């Protein structure tokens, strides 16, 4: 019998993930049927007290709600969570900052992920570089955090400016917000990768979850 995973045929659920990687497996909803998601969630919840479905559709949500009464729907973030036990809160905060109003769904995916993993989130919206006074006004809240996640579309300039203001790790999330030469987030992605701000690291376009996972790993290290 194979060890460390449960084989459902269409999926091999990694039940050993928390031991190896520090957090239980998360279900990436895109391209899965509602039945598959519920079945995977059931396996995870045999060993874990929380489960997160990212990129969930309303179909996914309805199926999860029917199966797990504790399930919650985070509509803006497109996430379903089941928290049978609330994990103990880590010390310190993680700032989730976004450049414009349209970037909020990606920022919320990050925030929901962080919270389900026991982190305290400081949400700051609409501080893009075209109005620097708005950014400078929140400077202390940024520096107070252990990690800063910066979510931005269009030219993706915000992480460079933030990295020059704080001494904490900055994780940049490009979003697909924009049109024309934005090319579905490429402009923001390239801008963040070539940032003149030292120490900016980058995740995939619209990948709020990935940024949150990395930030949670860092915050756990800061709490060790």
Question: Which residues from 12-41 bind its own copies, rule CB under 8 A?
Answer: 12, 14, 16-17, 20-23, 26, 30-32, 36
The nearest distance, CB 221 to its own copies, in angstroms, is 5
**194 burial class (0-12, 13-18, 19+ CB within 10 angstroms)?**
exposed
Q: Which among 122, 199, 113, 195 is positioned nearest to 156, based on CA atoms? A: 195
- Asked if 210 is part of the footprint of its own copies (rule: CB under 8 A), the reply reads yes
Q: Which is closer to its own copies, CB of 70 or CB of 223?
A: 223
Instruction: Using CB under 8 A, count the residues that bind its own copies.
Output: 96
The nearest distance, CB 75 to its own copies, in angstroms, is 12
Cα four-point dihedral sign 170, 159, 114, 142: positive
User: Could you tell me the two tokens for 90?
Assistant: 């880590």
Interface mask toward its own copies for 128-147; x: CB under 8 A: xxxxxxx-xx--------x-
- Asked if 87 is part of the footprint of its own copies (rule: CB under 8 A), the reply reads no
Cα four-point dihedral sign 224, 97, 155, 134: negative
Residues in 149-188 at the binding interface with its own copies, rule: CB under 8 A: 154-157, 160-161, 163-169, 171, 174, 176-188
Looking at residue 90, the DSSP 8-state letter turns out to be P
């Amino acid at each position: 019998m194979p060890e460390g995973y449960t084989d459902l045929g269409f999926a091999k659920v990694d039940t050993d993930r928390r031991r190896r990687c520090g957090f239980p497996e998360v279900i990436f909803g895109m391209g899965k049927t509602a039945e598959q998601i519920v079945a995977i969630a059931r396996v995870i919840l045999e060993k874990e007290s929380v489960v997160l479905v990212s990129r969930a559709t309303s179909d996914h949500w309805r199926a999860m709600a029917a199966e797990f009464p504790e399930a919650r729907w985070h509509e803006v973030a497109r996430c379903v969570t089941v928290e049978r036990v609330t994990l103990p809160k880590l010390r310190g905060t993680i700032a989730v900052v976004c450049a414009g109003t349209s970037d909020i769904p990606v920022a919320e995916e990050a925030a929901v992920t962080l919270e389900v993993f026991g982190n305290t989130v400081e949400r700051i919206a609409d501080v893009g570089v075209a109005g620097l006074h708005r950014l400078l006004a929140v400077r202390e809240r940024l520096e107070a955090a252990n990690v800063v996640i910066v979510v931005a579309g269009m030219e993706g300039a915000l992480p460079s400016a933030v990295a020059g203001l704080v001494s904490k790790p900055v994780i940049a999330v490009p979003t697909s917000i924009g049109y024309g030469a934005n090319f579905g987030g490429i402009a923001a992605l390239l801008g963040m990768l070539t940032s003149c701000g030292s120490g900016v690291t980058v995740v995939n376009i619209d990948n709020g979850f990935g940024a949150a996972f990395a930030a949670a790993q860092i915050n756990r290290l800061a709490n060790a």
